[in-house]
Structures are given as C-alpha cells and as structure tokens.
C-alpha cells in the first residue's frame, strides 16, 4: 500500500505535490526535488537545475539553467540547438515560459536563396554563424502559431527569452543578436500525459517499460446497477489556468526587469 505524502515543502518555496517527489520518497513521483536551505534543485532527465521560485497552485517552477547560461555567454551554437523537451514524454510533457521561437534550417547552397527570400518577406532576423544551420527568428514572446508553409528542412526550436514589460517592448534589447535575447532563468510547466492522468485518478503509479506506458497498482472502480457490473469511465481534463500563470509571470518578472534597468542605467 502506498505511503506517499500528499505533498512536501522546501524552504522559501510554495509546497510541492505530485508529479514532484522529495529525494527521500523516490517512489512517490516523477520529478525529483532536492530541498535545501541554501538552494533547492529540481532534476528531470540527467541534469539538475536550481529552483528560483515555485508557482503556488500549479506544476510551474522557475529554474536557473547554468549550463544554458554558460553556452549563451559564450555565444555557443549549442545554445540555439537546445530544444527543451520532456525526457519522459509518455509520462509528462514540459513547456517553457516565456519563450522565443527559432527556425533551425539546414544550409544548402542550392536552397539558400529560396530560404532567405522566404524569411525576409516576413522580416525575420537571421543568425548564420553556426555550421550546417541558419537560425531565423523574431522577438515575439511566447508566440505559439507556426507558419503553415514552413520549409521542410527547418526545425522549430523554442528557447527561454528575456521579457520587457514596459511600453516599447524591445527597448534595451538587441534584436539582431539572438544571444542577447536569451535567458537562463525561466518557468517550466510540467503537464502529465493523458495516460498518466487517468492512472493517477485511479490511484495508480505511472511507469514506463520497454518503450511503453504502465499503470501499476491502480484501483478498478465498479458500480452495481440492476444486477449488472458496469466499469466506470473516468475522463480526465488537466486544467491549467494560463491567464493566471501569465499574471504571475508578469508580477514576478516586471520588478526584476525594473531593477535591472535601474542598475544598468547610465549615471546623470
């Protein structure tokens, strides 16, 4: 029988609950959190990240990615290839906020002119200092709509981006320098897969084995009606209130941005 707690807390952070688990309860979740009085960390995949803040009522965590920060500071091409995806898509997906969309397109002497014309007509910026690929982008924050006629040799990349909340959103940012727009601190939303959601509603444990999803120790809910046994079908809808999340993003990031502008403003 499961003895997992309903949740747990880390110093100076809002409480955590499933799919997160404390390092002492490794069977009680999917995403490890290591609580510490100095700097709590979250681990998904093979890497751990510093936790900066935690959204109160949802699976949204503000992290600092030091590996990504180093690549950005070094203007390394690997920073532009680091598409942030879930290490366990059968169990959960991840979304980063706020983000900028890049199009990573293979370089080909026969197609370069056509590719340039395609993106120039929509006023995209280009970064062409990486081997084998060019990157095209606009400074538009968290735009999820993609071109319907995107060239087949281009891949969609979403990277964490700096945000300016003041009027004239691009003030102080160099749109022609993609590395100046990227941010190593960003929010990650963890969203359970539909299979795992259904499993959790039956108090089961979500696992993967041999490339397939498994729901272990789940309860079977039955109802007696007119002498017949009917299996109840449970429909799970994971509701994420994106409006409240964006309000939280603004309330958290705007003061940081104003403080940064004050620190970098030239003296009179």
pLDDT digits (tens, 9 = 90+) for 192-208: 999 999 999 998 999 99
Share of the chain above pLDDT 70, in %: 78
In the predicted structure, residue 8 carries a pLDDT above the cut 90 = yes
Contact, 230 vs 222, CB < 8 A? yes
pLDDT digits (tens, 9 = 90+) for 91-141: 999 999 999 999 999 998 777 888 999 999 999 999 999 999 999 999 999
In the predicted structure, residue 229 carries a pLDDT above the cut 50 = no
Region 224-249: what's the mean pLDDT? 45
Share of the chain above pLDDT 90, in %: 59
Q: How does DSSP assign the chain, residue by residue?
A: -----S-B--TTS--B-TTEEETT-TTS-SEEEE--SS--EEEETTEEEEEEEE-TTSSEEEEE-HHHHHHHHTT-THHHH-----S-TTTEEEEEESEEEEEEEE--TTTHHHHHHHHHTTT-EEEEEETTEEEEE---TT-----TT--TTEEEEEEEB----SSSTTTT--TT-HHHHB-SEEEEEEEE-HHHHHHHHTT-EEEEETTEEEEES----EEEETTEEEEPP--------HHHHHHHHHHHHHHHHHHHHHHHSPP-
Region 157-182: what's the mean pLDDT? 80
Q: Where are the domains of the chain?
A: 20-258
């Amino acid at each position: 029988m499961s003895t997992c707690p309903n949740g747990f807390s880390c110093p100076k952070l809002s409480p955590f609950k499933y799919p997160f688990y404390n390092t002492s309860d490794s069977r009680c979740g999917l995403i490890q959190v290591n609580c510490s009085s100095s700097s709590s960390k979250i681990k998904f995949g093979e890497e751990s990240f510093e936790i900066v803040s935690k959204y109160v009522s949802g699976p949204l965590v503000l992290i600092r990615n030091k590996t990504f920060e180093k690549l950005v500071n070094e203007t390394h091409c690997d920073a532009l290839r680091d598409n942030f995806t879930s290490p366990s898509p059968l169990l959960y997906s991840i979304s980063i906020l706020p983000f900028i969309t890049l199009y990573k397109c293979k370089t080909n002497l026969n197609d370069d002119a056509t590719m340039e014309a395609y993106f120039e007509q929509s006023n995209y910026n280009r970064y062409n200092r990486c081997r084998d690929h060019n990157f095209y982008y606009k400074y538009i924050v968290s735009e999820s709509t993609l071109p319907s006629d995107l060239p087949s040799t281009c891949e969609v990349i979403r990277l964490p981006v700096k945000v300016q909340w003041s009027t004239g959103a691009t003030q102080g940012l160099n749109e022609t320098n993609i590395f100046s727009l990227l941010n190593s601190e960003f929010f990650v939303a963890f969203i359970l897969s539909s299979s795992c959601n259904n499993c959790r509603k039956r108090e089961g444990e979500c696992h993967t084995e041999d490339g397939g999803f498994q729901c272990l120790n789940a309860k079977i809910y039955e109802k007696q009606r007119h002498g017949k046994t009917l299996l109840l079908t449970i429909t799970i809808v994971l509701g994420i209130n994106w409006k409240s999340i964006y309000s939280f993003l603004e309330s958290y990031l705007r003061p940081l941005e104003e403080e940064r502008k004050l620190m970098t403003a030239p003296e009179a």
